[in-house]
């Protein structure tokens, strides 16, 4: 056993995968052989989900069948919304989503939950993927005592998601950007939440448990949540004076030793995140249509310039996504749940890959504590 300890498993390769890789030299995210950015520009999120879960882009017939299946499965089982309405009013949307995914497991046939086959896992993952948007929107609306809306599959996966959040069909240009965000979030190799899902799956836990493990991991502020904090940051800068306030805001926070959300990445380090480069283009469309959006986009550029000069850091995907979702009118509390909904396709691909060639993930630790302690003379055992 090697005694070499890598804190955070940095640069440790723990799995062989055909799902995705981060090609740092060519600044690409490769998903089953395809450039993720090209996919985001040219296909729709359900196509990418099919690619991730089934290993290839769908034919026209497969597209129709896959989209129809997502639509058929999109609604929530009876009783789910009643449970969501019983959650405490202050429940975080991410906690509500995690709870809801656990709840959905109870509607599965117990025999299917215990079935270790890849085929059974794929069927369950498709149900989770299809229902996650409705679960996300229903939880948020239930927590705010608002009426819960049924999915509208005729609007497509992204359009129905926005419909359930806002209660109105989205503008085509907004729906297209939202679809692109879902694709950009769909898969990113072995992020912490993906690793958590693979660890859970390696125990032969069912896919609901694996996705819940990922959801719990994604809630941590060092993984998910950066898009929310980025959105809050731009609102603060706008209220403080707009573009002129952007640089002082960043400098003051850096002087206090604070992190600026949406910058840097464990893998990319000081390289650009390709997703952030792509999504910056979408900000221009909002700026052209809305003067208030134009102010926020100028704030965005000034923040990026300041961080590049002061810290040598580039934005990651969460920076433009946080602002884009804010410009779409998405409540801040829904931004990380949206991240999870999009990532379910990638999580599912890793869960299936783990099942197909499984070995229990069980690393070791290098112990550095004492070894020869004994209970003190006369120590009395507790009575509880």
Active-site residues: which are they? 223, 265, 318
3-state class (DSSP) for residue 257: coil
Say if CB 103 and CB 215 are below 8 A apart. Answer: no
3-state class (DSSP) for residue 266: coil
Give me the sheet containing 34-35, strands edge to edge.
20-23, 28-31, 34-35
Which residue blocks in the chain are alpha helix, DSSP H?
Answer: 36-42, 45-54, 60-73, 80-85, 93-105, 110-114, 118-143, 156-166, 172-185, 192-202, 207-218, 226-240, 243-255, 274-289, 291-311, 318-327, 335-356
3-state class (DSSP) for residue 29: strand
Say if CB 75 and CB 164 are below 8 A apart. Answer: no
**299 half-sphere exposure, CB direction, 13 A CA radius:** 29
- By CB neighbour count within 10 A (0-12 exposed, 13-18 middle, 19+ buried), where does 123 fall? middle
| DSSP-assigned letters across all residues of 184-253 | HHS--SS-HHHHHHHHHHHTT--HHHHHHHHHHHHTSTTTSSHHHHHHHHHHHHHHHTTHHHHHHHHHHH
Widest pairwise Cα distance in the chain: 78
User: Which whole-number Å values give the CA distances from 331 to 159, 269, 280, 293, in the listed order?
Assistant: 16, 30, 20, 16
């Amino acid at each position: 056993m090697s005694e070499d300890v890598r804190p955070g498993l940095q640069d440790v390769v723990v799995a062989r995968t055909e799902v995705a890789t981060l090609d740092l030299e060519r600044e690409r995210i490769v998903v089953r052989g395809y450039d993720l950015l090209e996919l985001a520009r040219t296909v729709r999120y359900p196509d990418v989900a099919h690619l991730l879960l089934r290993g290839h882009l769908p034919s026209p017939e497969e597209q129709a069948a896959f989209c129809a299946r997502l639509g058929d499965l999109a609604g929530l089982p009876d009783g789910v919304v009643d449970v969501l309405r019983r959650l405490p009013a202050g429940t975080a949307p991410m906690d509500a989503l995690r709870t809801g995914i656990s709840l959905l497991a109870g509607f599965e046939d117990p025999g299917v939950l215990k079935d270790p086959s890849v085929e059974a896992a794929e069927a369950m993952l498709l149900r989770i993927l299809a229902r996650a948007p409705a679960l996300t929107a229903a939880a948020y609306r239930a927590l705010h005592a608002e009426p819960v809306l049924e999915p509208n599959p005729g609007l497509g996966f992204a359009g129905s998601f926005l419909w359930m959040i806002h209660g109105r069909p989205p503008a085509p240009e907004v729906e297209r950007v939202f679809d692109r965000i879902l694709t950009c979030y769909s898969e990113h190799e072995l992020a912490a939440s993906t690793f958590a899902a693979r660890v859970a799956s390696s125990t032969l836990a069912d896919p609901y448990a694996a996705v819940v493990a990922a959801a719990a991991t994604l809630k941590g502020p060092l993984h998910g949540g950066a898009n929310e904090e980025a959105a809050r940051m731009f609102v603060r800068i706008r209220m403080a004076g707009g573009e002129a306030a952007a640089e002082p805001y960043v400098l003051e926070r850096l002087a206090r030793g604070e992190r600026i959300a949406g910058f840097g990445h464990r893998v990319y380090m000081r390289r650009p995140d390709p997703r952030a480069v792509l999504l910056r283009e979408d900000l221009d469309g909002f700026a052209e249509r809305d003067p208030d959006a134009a102010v926020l986009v100028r704030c965005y550029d000034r923040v990026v310039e300041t961080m590049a000069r002061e810290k040598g850091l580039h934005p990651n995907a969460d920076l433009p996504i946080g602002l884009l979702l804010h410009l779409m009118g998405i409540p801040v509390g829904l931004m990380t749940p949206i991240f999870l909904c999009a990532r379910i396709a990638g999580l599912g691909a890793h869960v299936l890959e783990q099942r197909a060639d499984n070995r229990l993930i069980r690393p070791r630790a290098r112990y550095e504590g004492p070894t020869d302690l004994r209970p003190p003379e006369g120590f009395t055992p507790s009575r509880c």
